[in-house]
């Protein structure tokens, strides 16, 4: 009963929140599901900074946006607690540790990746990554493919990208249109399958509770919305203008900024959904890195904290380091700058979506209705991710092409990783660690 609820905790200062967001940036392993679970445990259950219902309401909004939902959720809660600065700090600290770690790991990978120890680690990790991507398709599919029509949509997306090489943006657009039009005619077929449920256990009164009045900064104002959109546009246009005027439109860094801006607006369904688009552009079209390097980058992304989409930092680093854009003696500088640039263009839209759209979402609590297009996009994404798993599997298991013999040790590692993930429910970081150890042992033994 209400009178027995535990009293809300003491108010949280900006610097207390700062310390928590910094800590979260270093412990946010496990992909979006693991990161959301960490935030729920810390913010809802233990600290009670926000109630379960308000937490889920914010999460549902983040789920319908392009971009990393866990990072956006942190930004949303930080904004709700400590205004715009709080949201920016929460979102930046969610990403910054991962960016710095990936810059260092990318440099080690390129400078010493052929050393026996590192070569063995990557040899073991790559088959495990194939199993991890397949598990992602299964996880999303089991949640989203609730009827035959959605299965058909997933199959059509797979055929389109596998056999027809249809660009990923067109697949997303077609799925959204199908979901919108068919959802109006047959809404029951496109009922959301990917929600996180309704609020359950009551953990006691929270600082931001169900009935807590909206703070002044969270009230919707058209003028504020317009101002934030203008600021967001300027923050995107300024670096793009500098790159274009100083380096030219066709320069690698300028094209990276443009390409990853488009990628940021297409990440419906999480990082695994946009990886095929990143592959199509970064590997096939621009040639910034090789297919093998793309797989290695995903392996690094899986082993670091932060959003998995941070693999774009690896792509940027490799794409600038290998061709030595600023000269051989400035390779690291070029790589680090490119990694920072692509991170900026990838995450800027997420901040705009949250800071501009948050007040509107708070004003329309429990009335968010974007389920049909999102459900259709998510179904299509399943087919796209299966194609990605096949792509990785081909390059890992048949490194010499179909004419060559399969890599049986890699197949064995992938099978063991799949069993660990699907049967024994072992966490991704542990699977990665075990696969890396297996790869080192195989290299040492000369297999």
Residue pair 261/310 in contact by the 8 Å Cβ criterion: no
Q: What is the pLDDT of residue 365?
A: 58
**pLDDT(262) > 80:** yes
Token pair 């309704």 is found at: 198
Q: What is the pLDDT of residues 75-122, one digit of tens each?
A: 999 999 999 999 999 999 999 999 999 999 899 889 887 777 877 887
Which of 33, 54, 32 has the alpha carbon at shortest distance from 43? 54
Distance of CA 289 to the CA centre of its chain: 20
Provide the pLDDT confidence category of residue 234 given band limits of 50, 70 and 90: very high
3-state secondary structure (DSSP) of residue 208: strand
Comparing 129 with 368, the larger pLDDT belongs to 129
3-state secondary structure (DSSP) of residue 440: helix
Residue 359 to residues 72, 82, 348: CA-CA distances in angstroms?
A: 14, 14, 18
Q: How far apart are CA 345 and CA 278, in angstroms?
A: 14
Average pLDDT for 288-309:
83
Comparing 10 with 302, the larger pLDDT belongs to 10
Residue pair 344/239 in contact by the 8 Å Cβ criterion: yes
Which of 355, 271, 261 has the alpha carbon at shortest distance from 306? 271
**pLDDT(175) > 80:** yes
With 0-12 / 13-18 / 19 or more C-beta atoms within 10 angstroms meaning exposed / middle / buried, residue 47 is: middle
**pLDDT(34) > 70:** no
Q: Is 251 left (phi over 0), alpha (psi -120 to 50) or beta?
A: beta
Q: What is the pLDDT of residue 268?
A: 63
Per the prediction, the chain carries an average pLDDT of 84
Q: What is the pLDDT of residue 196?
A: 43
Comparing 73 with 269, the larger pLDDT belongs to 73
How many C-beta neighbours within 10 Å does residue 226 have?
11
Provide the pLDDT confidence category of residue 269 given band limits of 50, 70 and 90: low
Q: What is the pLDDT of residues 327-344, one digit of tens each?
A: 989 999 999 999 999 999
Comparing 202 with 398, the larger pLDDT belongs to 398
Q: What angle do CA 312, 315, 320 make, to 5 degrees?
A: 130
Q: What is the pLDDT of residue 228?
A: 94
Task: Render 63-116 in DSSP notation, one character per residue.
Answer: HTSSS-HHHHHHHHHHHHHHHHHHHHHHHHHHHHHHHHHHHHHHHHHHHHTTSH
**pLDDT(245) > 60:** yes
Q: Is 67 left (phi over 0), alpha (psi -120 to 50) or beta?
A: left
Provide the pLDDT confidence category of residue 31 given band limits of 50, 70 and 90: low
Q: CB under 8 Å to 271, separation ≥6 — which residues?
A: 31, 32, 68, 301, 307, 308, 309, 311
Tokens of 442: 């195989």
Comparing 291 with 428, the larger pLDDT belongs to 291
Residue pair 179/197 in contact by the 8 Å Cβ criterion: no
Residue pair 407/398 in contact by the 8 Å Cβ criterion: yes
Comparing 10 with 63, the larger pLDDT belongs to 10
Average pLDDT for 131-147:
78
Q: What is the pLDDT of residues 207-220, one digit of tens each?
A: 888 888 888 888 88
Provide the pLDDT confidence category of residue 249 given band limits of 50, 70 and 90: very high
Q: What is the pLDDT of residues 372-391, one digit of tens each?
A: 776 787 788 788 778 878 87
**pLDDT(198) > 60:** no
Q: What is the pLDDT of residue 186?
A: 79
Average pLDDT for 295-310:
80
Q: What is the pLDDT of residue 427?
A: 77
Provide the pLDDT confidence category of residue 312 given band limits of 50, 70 and 90: very high
Q: How far apart are CA 85 and CA 78, in angstroms?
A: 8
Provide the pLDDT confidence category of residue 2 given band limits of 50, 70 and 90: very low
Q: What pTM was estimated for this model as a whole?
A: 0.75
**pLDDT(273) > 60:** yes
Residue pair 299/396 in contact by the 8 Å Cβ criterion: no
Q: What is the pLDDT of residue 194?
A: 41
How many C-beta neighbours within 10 Å does residue 275 have?
29
Q: How far apart are CA 75 and CA 62, in angstroms?
A: 10
Q: What is the pLDDT of residue 238?
A: 97
Q: How far apart are CA 417 and CA 440, in angstroms?
A: 16
**pLDDT(161) > 60:** yes
Q: How far apart are CA 231 and CA 113, in angstroms?
A: 41
Q: How far apart are CA 21 and CA 25, in angstroms?
A: 6
Q: What is the pLDDT of residue 1?
A: 44
Q: How far apart are CA 422 and CA 42, in angstroms?
A: 27
């Amino acid at each position: 009963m209400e009178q027995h609820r535990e009293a809300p905790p003491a108010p949280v200062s900006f610097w207390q929140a700062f310390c928590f967001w910094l800590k979260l940036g270093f412990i946010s392993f496990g992909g979006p599901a693991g990161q959301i679970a960490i935030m729920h445990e810390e913010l809802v259950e233990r600290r009670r900074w926000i109630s379960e219902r308000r937490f889920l309401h914010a999460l549902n909004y983040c789920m319908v946006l392009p971009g990393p939902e866990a990072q956006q959720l942190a930004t949303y809660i930080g904004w709700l607690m400590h205004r715009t600065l709080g949201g920016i700090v929460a979102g930046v600290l969610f990403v910054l540790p991962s960016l710095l770690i990936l810059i260092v790991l990318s440099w080690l990978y390129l400078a010493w990746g052929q050393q026996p120890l590192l070569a063995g680690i990557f040899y073991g990790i790559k088959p495990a990554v194939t199993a991890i991507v397949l598990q992602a398709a299964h996880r999303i599919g089991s949640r989203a493919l609730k009827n035959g029509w959605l299965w058909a949509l997933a199959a059509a997306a797979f055929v389109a990208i596998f056999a027809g090489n249809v660009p990923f943006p067109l697949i997303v657009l077609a799925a959204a249109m199908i979901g919108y039009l068919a959802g109006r005619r047959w809404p029951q077929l496109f009922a959301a399958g990917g929600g996180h449920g309704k609020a359950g256990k009551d953990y006691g009164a929270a600082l931001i509770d169900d009935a807590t009045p909206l703070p002044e900064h969270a009230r919707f104002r058209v003028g504020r919305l317009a101002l934030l959109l203008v600021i967001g546009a300027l923050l995107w246009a300024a670096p793009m203008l500098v790159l274009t005027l100083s380096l030219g439109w066709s320069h690698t860094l300028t094209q990276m900024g443009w390409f990853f801006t488009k990628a940021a607006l297409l990440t419906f369904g999480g990082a695994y959904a946009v990886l095929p688009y990143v592959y199509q552009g970064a590997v096939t079209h621009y040639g910034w890195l090789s297919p093998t390097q793309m797989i290695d980058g995903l392996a690094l992304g899986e082993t670091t904290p932060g959003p998995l989409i941070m693999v774009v930092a690896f792509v940027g680093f490799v794409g600038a380091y290998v061709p030595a854009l600023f000269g051989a003696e400035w390779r690291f500088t070029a790589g680090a700058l490119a990694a920072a640039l692509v991170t900026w263009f990838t995450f800027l839209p997420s901040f705009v979506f949250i800071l501009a759209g948050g007040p509107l979402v708070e004003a329309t609590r429990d009335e968010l209705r974007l389920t049909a297009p999102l459900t259709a996009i998510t179904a299509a994404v399943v087919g796209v991710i299966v194609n990605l798993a096949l792509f990785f599997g081909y390059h890992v298991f048949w490194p010499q092409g179909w004419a060559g013999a399969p890599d049986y040790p890699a197949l064995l590692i992938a099978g063991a990783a799949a069993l660990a993930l699907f049967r024994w429910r072992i966490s991704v970081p542990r699977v990665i660690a075990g696969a890396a150890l297996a790869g080192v042992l195989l290299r040492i033994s000369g297999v």
